[in-house]
A and B are shown apart, each in its own frame.
Chain A
Amino acid sequence: MTPFLEMTGISKTFPGVKALDHVDLQLRAGEVHVLAGENGAGKSTLMKIMTGVLRADPGGVIEVEGEPVTIKDPVHARALGISIIYQELAVVNNLTVAENVFLAREPLGPSGLIDRRRMNAETRAVLSELGVEIDPEAMVGTLSIGQRQLIEIARAISYRSKLIIMDEPTASLSHHESATLLRMVRKLAGQGIGIVFISHKLEEIFEIADRVTVLRDGRTVDTRPADGMTRDLLVRLMVDRDLDQLFGHHRSHATDEVLMSVRGLSEKRANDEGVHISDVSFDLRRGEVLGFFGLVGAGRTEVMEMIFGSRPYLGEISISGRSVRIASPSDAIESGIGFVTEDRQSLGLVLGMTVRENFSLTHLSEYCSFDFVNRRRETSACEAYIKTLGIKTPSPEQKVLNLSGGNQQKVVLAKWAARRPRILIVDEPTRGIDIGAKAEVHALLNRLAEEGMSIIVVSSDLPEVLAISDRVIVLKEGRISGELSREEATQEGVMLAATG
């Protein structure tokens, strides 16, 4: 039987990076094919090629039902029967279910107006085919995340898709919703629709997969039937690679003194959406670099937001043995905590302000007498940090929006390092920055720890967490699922705790 979609020798080169290197993939009708691999392994690039968002380099061959094709754009992909459901849902909350399903291809009546009755009836038919009870006239915004995902699936089916790609569809779903979704996926496969399923959750992969293809560093490692595959084997296939030599030198500066102790940190507001943090307890020692690892949606960022006062919490946080109540970021800052946020553009920087103004925002009073800013002192402090961190900017007066991502990240680090907090939380400190800048960021963190600062590093980059942490705490679905010392922490061990 010819596979529905066959990709042979697919490569994709971005400036300076080979994202895909001769990848082969066969997708059969009616199978659930799991695509596994670490962040940056090339999964999303491959998906984008399948759906016509990106073009592969010349030389590769894509065949749909035996016919060689060039997928021109997403509309063409859809015409070929290929649909995708993105991790970030693409539904409009202020429209009804039916309006979303038929968005941009609304059926028109003889008058030229939208034929609502037909639209609702067809939506109802698709939904009942899926076996779900959702009113086609309900506002999408009133539905749960899980239900919204089903709307997207309904939309894909109404296109008569033969292949549906799902990018981490369960990442933000509750257990119950995930189970419903997985049943749905099985049912669709039973009807002959091919499913490409991307997931980081091992248990899910084994529950749903017919076959698994593992990508690593842009290459196909292997495609195997899910039967006969073990967890250990899958993890090894995914992460087996040399630790980057750039980041080899780790020296621990951790002391025995417990600086911050967190007990029973839990969600204050009940929420249906996303993760639910419960009973997170840990100690942070002076001079320690503590790594926090977990998959997308495990709750790492949420835990840090609680500690930094931007998310309500239950539980107790004490610093240097004194219990503190942190109700706002300024409370946290006064308690000696700094937070380098994951999203530097929307949370870390005021893009329209200069490097100097962003740099000093966390500790402006140091340069003030009677509320007047001493511009000279401010500028010279900023220049010193520009030099030590190697921030590439023509002057402190450059607006940060003109800097590259790596240099913006260094500005965020500088503004916190200069404040000298006792505890510095860094969330995804090296996401999206090049390898050289990454090494400089790691060196800075190491130096701050040496000076006695305690650092919490949150990262989904496993080699990074292992390279710079003295100890690793693993989160899974809002709870701590493992705590490993530097000696115990191997890629396999941490991955198992995060997924297993």
Chain B
Amino acid sequence: MSENSVAPSERKSMGGLRYLLQLRHMREFNVLIALILMGLLISLFTPYFLTVSNLMGVSRAFSLTAIMSIGMVMVIITGGIDLSVGSAMGLAGLITALCFDAGYSQYAAVAAGLGVGLAFGLTNGLLITAIGLPPFIATLGTLSIGRGMMYMITHGVPLTPNTPDSFSVLGQGYLGPVPVPVVILLVLTVIFTIIMTRTRFGRHVYATGGNENAARLSGVKVERVKLAVYVLSSTISALAGVIAFSRYLSAEPASGFGSELEVIAAAAIGGASLAGGIGSVLGAVIGAALIGEIANGVVLLNINTYAQQAITGGVILIAVSIDVLRNRMGGRG
């Protein structure tokens, strides 16, 4: 809608400024500004924030949340919610570790970890589409089941199998100055942004959340779309779990605990509406970056780390409030 509000004749003369001005119309604009302002604010108090090594460290720290938020935002756009992402992540890391422990190759181990995600996604998706459970309930159930399974398998003790060095590249390696998990995040962001904005599937995801009945009556296979986003969400979370295991080479019984809240927060900060139909992959990733930035700032500025959660909560409320008010005032176009 924004591109067309600028008349063609004006376009040429405005050049670079035009892009800047158009940025203002992006849904992600608010959160991007918040990210920049927060960065500047932190830099005022500490010289250590705006350094390549710190920024790369921060990026690696929030990359897992950001990766998971890509799946989550697609679920949220269909009007659903996936509370089980933390369990899918934790259990996927654990199963990968178990495979190494049992002497399987790293490919088999990674495949098994991703398979856990697939199983989670199919279970969630079928409970929601075939049985008709509300997504909140279905994924609350699988969240709890996954959690219980992790304790049953580990008996509360971390699992630290032997792994080849080539496997640890996934979580610990660098591509130039950029940590591998961040590279994976960037690749996934590009892929899923294209899927959501340029493909038929993406259009159907938005239509399903925008008005499920109208979408169904237009021929959209709404159930299939929903099943697909839950499978994607869980599988992406499982990938995050495999990366986390590669990073620490230890499968913690409590890995992924409570991460669903941070992931949902990232999507919401990034402009996704929990009512469905609205949101973007890029917004969710920037939202996750903002949360990571705050966490880093709290550490750098020597603020009581217990305050970090409270600050994050405040930022969520402010960011989403601004978004809501902006949409209300900015008219409906």
Contact = CB atoms under 8 A, between A and B. Distances in A.
Same complex for A and B? Answer yes
B206 A353 contact: yes
A415 B220 CA distance: 13
B298 to A, nearest CB: 37
Interface in A347-379: 347-354, 357, 360-362, 364-365, 368, 371-373, 375
15 contacts: A330-B221, A341-B217, A349-B214, A350-B207, A350-B210, A353-B207, A353-B277, A361-B214, A364-B204, A373-B198, A397-B1, A397-B4, A398-B1, A399-B332, A402-B333
B214 A346 contact: yes
Contacts of B221: 330
A401 interface: yes
B214 A372 contact: no
Interface in B82-118: none
B218 interface: yes
B332 A347 contact: no
B215 interface: yes
A360 B218 CA distance: 9
A310 B207 contact: no
Contact of B333 (A348, A351, A399): A399
A310 B217 contact: yes
Interface in A322-344: 328-330, 333, 339, 341
A404 interface: no
Nearest to B195: A371
- Name, among A361, A365, A371, the residue most crowded by chain B CB atoms within 10 Å (CB to CB): A361
A350 B199 CA distance: 18
A310 B213 CA distance: 10
B207 A346 contact: no
Contacts of A351: 210-211
A329 B216 contact: yes
Contacts of A398: 1, 333
A328 B220 CA distance: 11
B91 to A, nearest CB: 31
A395 interface: yes
B135 to A, nearest CB: 19
Nearest to B208: A350
Interface in B171-218: 198-201, 203-204, 206-207, 210-211, 213-218
A197 interface: no
A398 B1 CA distance: 6
A350 B215 contact: yes
A132 B88 CA distance: 57
B203 A349 contact: no
Nearest to B197: A373
B200 A373 contact: yes
Would you call the interface of chain A mostly helix, strand, loop, or mixed?
mixed
Nearest to B217: A329
Given A351-B211, A352-B210, A399-B1, A361 B218 contact: yes
Contact of B201 (A333, A353, A371): A371
Interface string B31-44: 00000000000000
Contacts of B211: 346, 349-352
B217 A354 contact: no
A277 to B, nearest CB: 19
Interface in B286-311: none
Contacts of B1: 354, 395, 397-399
B202 to A, nearest CB: 8
B190 to A, nearest CB: 14
A308 interface: yes
Given A365-B200, A373-B199, A329 B219 contact: yes
A308 B278 contact: no
B274 to A, nearest CB: 14
A405 B217 CA distance: 19
Interface in B1-22: 1, 3-4
A92 to B, nearest CB: 22
B215 to A, nearest CB: 7
Contacts of B332: 399, 401-402
A373 B196 CA distance: 11
A300 B201 CA distance: 34
A330 B221 CA distance: 7
Nearest to A354: B1
Nearest to A329: B217
Given A310-B217, A360-B203, 5 more contacts: A333-B219, A361-B215, A361-B218, A364-B200, A372-B200
Contacts of B204: 364
B217 A348 contact: yes
A375 B210 CA distance: 20
Interface in A47-94: none
A339 B214 contact: no
A352 B216 CA distance: 16
Contacts of A349: 211, 214
Contact of B198 (A372, A397, A399): A372
B294 to A, nearest CB: 30
Contacts of A350: 206-207, 210-211, 214-215, 277
A88 B101 CA distance: 65
Contacts of B213: 346-347
Contact of B218 (A362, A375, A397, A402): A362
A353 B332 CA distance: 11
A347 B212 CA distance: 8
A362 B200 CA distance: 11
A415 B333 contact: no
A362 B219 contact: yes
Given A341-B217, A347-B217, A399-B333, A361 B199 contact: no
- Name, among A330, A350, A401, the residue most crowded by chain B CB atoms within 10 Å (CB to CB): A350
A330 B217 CA distance: 8
B199 A371 contact: yes
Contacts of A347: 213-214, 217
A396 to B, nearest CB: 8
